[in-house]
Amino acid sequence: MPLLAAGLAVYAALLGIAATVPQVPPQHVTLATWLSQHRLLSGLASYWEASSVTVDSGGKVTMLAVGIHGAKRRLGPDLWETDVRLDNPATHSANFVVMGPDRIVPARLAVEMFGNPVHTYHYDLYTIMVWNKNLISELPI
């Protein structure tokens, strides 16, 4: 019985400490908000940015996860835990690419594949390149 009481006391103390520490917002919620405010609603990014921005925005911003694939080392859709319906240019479009601090999606490769962007933004640790075309139609199948 004393051991159970001690365990409950420690648990209560840890719960009290956790309640006083402010919670950190989801990792990419500020990026999702920035994209939405700038009407950038459908784009490409590495897995981490793509999946969390889509979730953090409640689906308001949809992002297809891309990575470097194939012998030619081109950007292409990632198939792991990705909604592959987003890579169909007949039903979806994407006009921007988000490059995160990890540089999994290199800006140089995006320019090589899609040409020069019409706008390049820098927000927090991210570079966002925007084109006036559907980038999905230029991804290798």
Count of structural domains, the chain: 1
**Residue 38 falls within a domain, yes or no?**
yes
**Residue 6 falls within a domain, yes or no?**
no
Quick check: pTM over 0.95? no
Model pLDDT for residues 42-74, shown as the tens digit of each residue? 999 998 888 888 888 888 999 998 988 876 788
Please give the residue range of the domain that contains residue 109: 25-138
**Residue 7 falls within a domain, yes or no?**
no
What is residue 114's predicted lDDT score, i.e. its pLDDT? 95
**Residue 53 falls within a domain, yes or no?**
yes
**Residue 68 falls within a domain, yes or no?**
yes
In this structure, which long-range contacts are made by residues 134-137, counting pairs with CB atoms below 8 Å and at least 24 apart in sequence?
134/89, 134/93, 134/94, 134/95, 135/43, 135/44, 135/93, 135/94, 135/95, 135/96, 135/97, 136/44, 136/64, 136/86, 136/87, 136/88, 136/89, 136/92, 136/93, 136/94, 137/89
